[in-house]
Every structure is written in structure tokens, then in C-alpha cells.
Amino acid sequence: MTLNQILLDASAVLDLSGSIPTGDELTLRKNYANQAVEDAAATSQFPEFRVEYSLYTIGSTQVPLAGFREFECNPRALSSTGWREFQEVELVNRETALSDGDDFCWVTGNPQSGYVANFSANLVANMSLSVIYQRYPSGMPSLTSICELSDPTYVTRKVESYVLYSRGDDRFQTAEARANSVLLNMTGRKMKGTGGQYRTTSAGFENPLA
């Protein structure tokens, strides 16, 4: 579902209109939509934001992590003796792990310059390294951008909630409850139906907040 469709569905409830707003109000709702995706991604580890890759080590102990948010599991490397798990440690605990000779890694960097996974010297050449982590959402910069969440109606409901709250409208509690219900569905149930189609609930003609 595109951002345009999300905002159209929200407008049907908020404005009883078949068109999206313009000007500052459009900019505000676009920001609300992107914030909603960020909020959802912060609550759980969604498959939509999973990054999985394997690489054959050549001796470097640093691996760049594009869009890194957090590891889903500790990186693992396959050596001639089997799989070895490199446990993530805090930077302040690095020296202790190093003196113990452990297989470990730590993350350095920041959102602006990017993040890097640093591995102990136990990660040597000719290993098959497997890294699985969560990335940040890509965002929806334009109205034609596609929502990354498996059920975009969560974003619609959150936009409704944000707007109603900003208006001081008590119905925002109802909208927020509806958004949370969709979020629970995404986190607690498999979202794909038959044929691999996502289950979505488009706004109907009846205003659910009336």
C-alpha cells in the first residue's frame, strides 16, 4: 500500500473526504505516517526489517552494517571445526572478553556515519560468517512510497490517532486502541493468507470513530 492510499483511508475517517489534505496538513500527516512505522519497528523484530547475509572472511575483523538497529542473534562463523558463536559484548567489557580469549564482537558507530561490527581476533580468514540483524525502516519520502509493514492499516490507524490527539479530540483513544489491535496482530500472528496475500482492512464508508 502506498503512502497516498494510507492518507486517503485516514482522510475518509478524519475529514469524511475522498481526497488527501494539502499544504502543511499534508506534510504533517506524512510525518505522522513515517513516525508510525518507526513506532512499530521499535516494538518488535519484524521480518520486514531483517537483514541476513553471509560472507567469506578474508582476514578483516570489521564488517559494515548498513542501516543497523540491533542484532537478531549473535553472529556465527563456520570454521573447520564447526560453527562458532561470536557473542555481542558492550564496549566496556571488551578487554575482559579479550583476556579470556572468547569469541565475541562489539558494535561501534552512529546513525550518521554508520555502524560496524568489530570481531575478536578469533575471526580469521577462510570462515563463513553469518550475520542477521534488524535495520531501521527506509521511510516513505513520497506519496508513491510503499509501506514496509506487512499490514499498512496500522499506519492508517496511527495517523488517525495522532491527528485526533493534536485536535484534542477524545476519540483518539478509540483510534489508538484500533492501531494497537493491528500491531498485536502483526506481532502475534502470521500475516499472510492463502496465496501469500497480506490481510489488510481498508477503511469503509462508515466512520468507525463516529
How far is the C-alpha of 99 from the C-alpha of 200, rounded, in Å? 53
User: Closest Cα to residue 119, out of 82, 83, 77, 78?
Assistant: 77
Q: How confident is the model at residue 201, as a pLDDT? A: 40
pLDDT tens-digit map of 104-155: 899 999 988 999 999 988 898 889 999 999 999 999 999 999 999 999 999 9
pLDDT tens-digit map of 73-107: 999 999 888 999 999 998 776 777 666 667 889 99
Q: How confident is the model at residue 188, as a pLDDT? A: 81
Least confident of 55-69, 86-100, 160-174: 86-100
- Indicate whether 203 pLDDT > 60: no
CB distance 9 to 156 below 8 Å = yes
CB distance 39 to 158 below 8 Å = yes
Joined grid coordinates for residue 102: 572468547
Taking residues 47-74, what's their average pLDDT?
92
b or e along 74-107 (b: 16 or more beta carbons within 10 Å of the residue's beta carbon)? bbbbbeeeeeeebeebeeeeeeebeeeeebbbbb
| Residue 55 one-letter amino acid | L
Mean pLDDT of the chain, nearest integer? 87
Joined grid coordinates for residue 59: 582476514
pLDDT tens-digit map of 24-34: 999 999 999 99
Taking residues 17-40, what's their average pLDDT?
96
Residues 6 or more apart from 110 whose CB is under 8 A from it?
A: none
Q: How confident is the model at residue 100, as a pLDDT? A: 64
DSSP code, position 199: P
